[in-house]
Amino acid sequence: MTIPSAEGFLQASSCLPCTAEEERELVAALAKEAEENVKDGDLRYLVSQSWWLEWQQYVGLVRHEENDTEQLPQAMNRPGEIDNSKLVSAETIVGSEEPELQRTLREGQDYTLVPQEVWRRLYEWYKGGPAISRKVILDSHGAHKSYIVDVYPLCLKLIDGRDNSERNIRISRKAKIHELYSMVCSLMSVEQSEIVIWDYYQKSKSKKLSNLNETLDEASITMDQEILLEMKLDGCSTGSSTRSTNNELALIPLGPSTSSFSIAGGPTYSNGFSSGIGSSFSQDNSFSPLLRDSTDGYNSFSNGTKDDTHGLSGLHNLGNTCFMNSAIQSLVHTPPLVEYFLEDYSREINTENPLGLQGELAIAFGELLRKLWSSGRTSVAPRAFKSKLSRFAPQFSGYNQHDSQELLAFLLDGLHEDLNRVKKKPYIEAKDADGRPDDEFAEECWNYHKARNDSIIVDKFQGQYKSTLVCPVCNKISVTFDPFMYLSLPLPSKVTRMITVTVFSGVGDALPMPFTVTVQKNGNCRDLIKVLTDVCCLKSSETLLLAEVYDRRIYRYLTNPVEGLYTIKDEDILVAYRLPVGHEKLLRLEILHRRADRFAADPQFNINRKLIGCPLITCIPNDSTGKSDIYAAVSAVLVPFLRAKAHGPDVSAVKLNGNGPSLDGIVLTDNGTTSEEGLSTSSGDDNAVDDELLPFQLSLTDEKGIVRNPINTDSNHVLGLVMRVSMDWSDREREMYNMDYMDELPEVFKPGFFSKKTRQEAVNLFSCLDAFLKEEPLGPDDMYCPGCKEHRQASKKLDLWRLPEILVVHLKRFSYSRYMKNKLDTFVNFPIHDLNMSKYVKQTPKGAQQPMYELYAVINHYGGLGGGHYSAYAKLVEEDNWYHFDDSHVSSVNEDEIRTSAAYVLFYRRVGGSNTVADDVPIDIEMVDSLETAP
């Protein structure tokens, strides 16, 4: 649909739109115009995401998709007033001040951003509120320009040095220092020449804010920190004054702070604009500030006495930076990294690598590591490192909570590129194994990788795994060897699960029967069919066809034996059909059931007749598709459902029922043809079938049961291997057959109403490794098979080929879907000493001992997704003691307290043998004592 311009639309309409379609078109036009003409200073308004979804459904922008069971139901009613009350703090809803946003909001989950004109129209139509506006800001880095929305401006605590009074102010992090001075002067009724503003982080004078053209981001001013206003004693002028620009977002006075800033929750910085109508604004999750190359920002608190303890420094929480602190503490307690960064590493800094960060991340990390190892037990504020991180990884800027493992992955990759010894990476064409032994091909792949990637990170953290893809059609095997930096292991909440499947007969010799079986939770469809085969006592000539039923029809067939059982949800309905071995070469007859009514003769009412019951499936020979063949097959499969009174008088039913498909008589020949030994579907010619004597009405249909075409007497051509027919159920059919057995089938798993919640089973690290290395299917088009020359749904198998000296293990506790997110608190029993990986590694160097590992650090995550907290356990090698690093607080901890259900990332170092980390060599304390704050 072509969207008209907003101006043209308004000119064409003299009144407000009153229909859903008119609302949709006008909002789309306004949003499109705002997107095409965006400029610095434009306003964007926050709208509650729940209300926005209701409006989208009302106007038809969001529709219910039948193949998306998680999609919200379509709401046809007009939504009520706009309700933004959940977006703001309760105490600021009433009054004249601008509402204060809740600190844990996320764009796309809690709110959406709409242009000013869109908000004005929505408010005219629906009223409500409160109105929450934010400005669009031009964010430019050299030639790169983008527009961002400062949803969460900085909230700063302004302390007046004259009387120590405090007040909160709000200012854009992109505002310049001269704007801060100008607004503070206006607020406090002072002259700019009479004052000095200090960076007063943690109530300590860090530096004067004297560079008037520097932004607050560049000055490392952080959320909820203090700034100090001091009067000059001599009253002299500061020199040339800069007139501030008129920036409405720059400074907004707030009332006194009523609550402290929470470590767990925090603001989301929404730099993008997402209208849900096709905006092309930047979709970054946070700001990407410019920053200075200075070494300040570290604020240590010391009593002036010498402390001989090293490596026990905490990290200040700058506002939801516990995710960063825990990752940093784990890395700065990695023995080979400590040795490396305490020495002169500047010779390996690669400033020419286009994939790197010009060496700045490595320098910032090295400075921070040296600071942590030289400050005794004092805590360090990693503000300069945070600014560097925000510059190179905008997704981690701002002060919202993030994933510690994602930050860890970025740090390792960024440090590698900054320290890559390869200045100019050679072009190397990927080669196939061509039948060569795995040892030879793996070594060649590793050498190619090292020719382009050679750093301390590769030396210590990277291993190699073997990936094997198998085509399900031609069995073509493709093998690759790829490097890895860490292992992300699946974490089952239970080892086993119960699945209920209703088994139907495909030849009409038994009523359907539900069976509940227990299978491995990380198992596949092959495992489920094997268990069902045993409990059903299947004959050797029978097999099971597994399918999922949704909305009274076959939603999908589960024919891929390696498809994981995780794709089957507890609320799904599973059925299995007993069919002859080799049924894939026969024509599958799928029988749907529809309710017949008094309008059955009128074709326009056919679409309104709903599907009922559960589909039945049988098989017929490919060349037996006449009317009598189809009726005979359907009659045969319906025999178990016949009521007792229907067995005698209905001659036509008896005639047809007696000539259905016989499972025992089917014999498949080598060429796939059928020897019809006892498989007769007709006792006479097709013309003998009298419509008036037929026991029910059948028609050809589609997979949704909507289409209704007549069945030809002679032959009925079908596309593919499935013929679908629909059976009309009138009062006559209900009297003849008992449909209760096809109705209300049990779900896969439904706990009893009064049943207690089962306690999650504990798992060990080895079961997680087994699940990670288990064969699993890929997506339908993820592999292009060179043998078939087509995309195939291949199966994939991973094997660990080469293990690194530092083995990082990520336990996948978090899962996400379209409308739901979840965290698993399952306790994982992991070894602290003597982790033997010989069972899992495929290649061990000659003369090397078994790959044994020892734990030296753990990243923990406590709480849920919305309000969690990170901390770290780390071991000091030289004294063999464990410590708990919880932001700035560091405490001793016993080794037996390390294993908890909060463990999220595990760090192991290889011990013993000739290829080990130098873990038995203590850190050079004299070198640490001689360190300066900068390298």
* Residues forming the active site: 322, 869
> What 3-state DSSP class applies to 769?
helix
Nearest of 491, 290, 493, 520 to residue 388 by alpha carbon: 290
Place of tokens 């034996």: 561
What is the C-alpha separation between 392 and 361, in angstroms, rounded? 8
Nearest of 316, 223, 222 to residue 885 by alpha carbon: 316
Amino acid at residue number 247: N
Nearest of 580, 612, 653, 614 to residue 512 by alpha carbon: 614
The DSSP H or E segment spanning 550 is strand 542-550
Phi, psi of 28 (to 5 degrees): -60, -40
Residue 277 CB partners (closer than 8 Å, separation 6+) = 27, 28, 31, 32, 61
**φ/ψ bin of 376: left (φ > 0), alpha (ψ from -120 to 50), beta (otherwise):** left
Q: What is the 3-state secondary structure (H, E, C) of 590-626?
A: EEEEEECCCCCCCHHHHHHCCEEEEEEEEEECCCCCC
CA distances from 177 to 161, 173, 233, 241, 242 (A): 19, 10, 21, 12, 10
CA distances from 319 to 430, 527, 566, 863 (A): 45, 48, 37, 17
Residue 228 CB partners (closer than 8 Å, separation 6+) = 159, 161, 197, 198, 200, 205
What is the DSSP code (8-state) at residue 228? E
Cα dihedral 840, 842, 844, 849 in deg (nearest 10): 30
What is the C-alpha separation between 474 and 782, in angstroms, rounded? 16
What is the C-alpha separation between 933 and 935, in angstroms, rounded? 7
Residue 265 CB partners (closer than 8 Å, separation 6+) = 103, 104, 320, 401, 866, 867
Q: Are strands 128-129 and 82-83 parallel, antiparallel or unpaired?
A: parallel
On the 0-12 / 13-18 / 19+ scale of CB atoms within 10 A, 311 is: buried
Residue 306 CB partners (closer than 8 Å, separation 6+) = 376
Assess contact for 115 and 274: CB atoms under 8 A.
no
What is the C-alpha separation between 833 and 839, in angstroms, rounded? 16
Assess contact for 593 and 710: CB atoms under 8 A.
no
Apex 551 CA angle, 545 and 557, nearest 5: 20
What is the C-alpha separation between 44 and 115, in angstroms, rounded? 5
What is the C-alpha separation between 545 and 535, in angstroms, rounded? 15
Can you give the length of the chain in residues? Answer: 935
Distance between alpha carbon 10 and the CA centroid of its chain, in Å? 41
Assess contact for 133 and 113: CB atoms under 8 A.
no
Assess contact for 220 and 387: CB atoms under 8 A.
yes
What is the DSSP code (8-state) at residue 741? G
Nearest of 380, 219, 392 to residue 315 by alpha carbon: 380
Token pair of 200 as six digits: 């007063």
Distance between alpha carbon 666 and the CA centroid of its chain, in Å? 48
> What 3-state DSSP class applies to 893?
strand
Amino acid at residue number 436: R
